[in-house]
Amino acid sequence: MPQNTPAMLVLADGTVFSGTSIGAAGHTVGEVVFNTAMTGYQEILTDPSYTEQIVTLTYPHIGNTGVNSEDVESGKVYAAGLIIRDLPLLTSSWRCEESLSDYLAANNVVAIADIDTRKLTRILRENGAQAGCIMAAGPASGSSLAASTPDMPLAGMAGEVDEAKALQLARAFPGLAGMDLAKVVSCDQPYEWTEGEWDLAEGYSKAADPEFNVVAFDYGVKRNILRMLAARGCKVTVLPAQATAEQALALKPDGIFLSNGPGDPEPCDYAIDAIAKLVDSGIPTYGICLGHQLLALASGAKTVKMKFGHHGANHPVQDLDDKRVFITSQNHGFAVDAATLPVNVRATHVSLFDGSLQGIARTDKPAFSFQGHPEASPGPHEMSYLFDRFIDLMKTKGEK
């Protein structure tokens, strides 16, 4: 990567940040959000939930440990772009296989450094998440969905950055409200997941002998979620987002898992319909993130677009049942409206940042969900007990 290659971030409100390109040449557009995690940038970049979003990392030094082939949550980078304050010149980790800058360029991700991320974060906090465009100068190579549009292909992006064009592109981004992305990022065909959790000495383990048959709906699932299910004795069959309830029931599952994912949950009518039928069947059901929102919608509640969402690994959440407080990993721009919960759905967790709803449970069926990311990739491990709760529900159902 040539040093001091100019790049520019332009927000839809006209705010301009000039910086340095640390990834691919070209441009990218998306909803600009900020994430307060101090570590885990590789897991963040490869989280499908960040589809159509440009991620601002508030921690100033990003890239210190480079990247490796193990710390990924999917098969590719899903974040539309990356914004950071400082990219260290050197990486230092025994697990490092590649620098962050080389990784971004190899994956055709447009990214910018050397801007005031504190100022940008204040703008997003005060005015809400908004559309933006990162434009990076230099000769382009290849093309990607994230870094090209019909009116301005990546291959035509050699030369200087164009502020007026970047503003035009930012303002043309339609926003995530009403955007169904779950079916876009989902797998095409069913598959079985057999990999267990990571160990310092051995790497990723083989799954434990299966005791439970779990069907997982892939709305943009993170790999560590599947690993945690497999490590707890689950045979995991992953189905595409648009799979029907009948297809899931044909596999005779002991439990149903609803994954995380990007976009607005309300347009996912195919998922809402399938979940309603599966929950009514009495099969234990567990949802995370988008899966949480979809379970709520299938149960009769409503969702809302948040001002700037929750993104980070330091969010305090209270379990309303025992009043314990947990530090959690979060990544969502939509939330379930607690005021719309029907009588057969109770709140189980709330955010101590803003009081927003973080967990629900059905009172008439063995179904529950959590808004944050209890698989802790990246983030604290404190919420992993929710996976054990899912296992307990399946055990109880089996004993009956």
Catalytically active residues are 289, 373, 375
> Angle, to 10 degrees, between the axis of helix 290-298 and the axis of helix 269-280?
70
Can you read off the two tokens belonging to residue 316? 């305090």
Q: Are strands 303-319 and 345-351 parallel, antiparallel or unpaired?
A: antiparallel
DSSP class of residue 376 equals -
172 vs 227: CA distance, rounded Å: 39
CA 56 remoteness from chain centre: 14
Can you spell out the DSSP letters for 160-220?
S--HHHHHHHHHH---STT---HHHHS-SS-EEE-EEEEETTTEEEEPPPP-EEEEEEESS
Q: How many helices (H) and strands (E) does the chain have?
A: 10, 19
Closest alpha carbon to 110 in 53, 27, 170, 166: 27
217 vs 244: CA distance, rounded Å: 10
400 vs 388: CA distance, rounded Å: 19
65 - beta bridge partners?
none
Backbone angles phi, psi at 41, to 5 degrees: -65, -30
Q: Are strands 203-206 and 255-258 parallel, antiparallel or unpaired?
A: unpaired
* Whether 278 contacts 251, CB under 8 Å: no
